[in-house]
Amino acid sequence: MSEYKEDRSGESWDMGVVILSWKDAVEHASTGRGGYNVVLHEFAHVLDMENGAMDGFPRLRSREERETWRAVFTEAYDRFERAGRRSVVDEYGAGDPSEFFAVVTESFFERPIALKREQPSLYDLLSSYYCVDPASWSASAAVLRDPLLRAGSRRARRPRRKG
């Protein structure tokens, strides 16, 4: 048996179990730190696992939706990997498609205008999946919360993600 201490913001396990660092959940909900939200991230993993695998492809209603998802999501992931750090999406998503789905979910809700501008097809795909259009909620509120939009820059330093 090994014992070790590891800092993590959250974890998602099969059968819908989610473990969150309350400190991180409260801190990032209150500060609106550019695109990072551990609650959205971990619940996106739960949605991703609904089809039996954590692969960036949540359970979808029809064959047509699955084909559309595969085409749009794969292209967006490939574009993201080519862009490197020059993206509104946290670089943590480069690890694999499941992490990409989780971080684009964060960006979709936390930085919707910037995501819509950078990856419009992906934004539309997520808008259809989640049945909401957060970019239309309040443009002024989004600008206040999003450091990239506030600064008018395409680049911003993002804090390192735990775990």
Where are the chain's structural domains? 10-151
pLDDT at residue 70 tops 70: yes
Tokens standing for residue 15:
């059968």
Q: How confident is the model at residue 64 (pLDDT cuts 50, 70, 90)?
A: very high
Give this prediction's pTM: 0.72
Give CA–CA dist 25/45, Å, rounded.
Answer: 16
% the chain with pLDDT above 70: 61
pLDDT tens track for 152-161: 544 444 444 5
Mean pLDDT to the nearest integer, 74-90: 84
Which of these CATH numbers, 1.10.1050.10, 3.40.50.740, 3.40.390.10, 3.40.50.1970, describes 10-151? 3.40.390.10
Provide the pLDDT for residue 132.
Answer: 95
- Cα angle 33, 39, 43 (rounded to 5 degrees) comes to 135
Report how many helices (DSSP H) and strands (DSSP E) the chain contains, helices first.
8, 2
Give CA–CA dist 155/142, Å, rounded.
Answer: 17
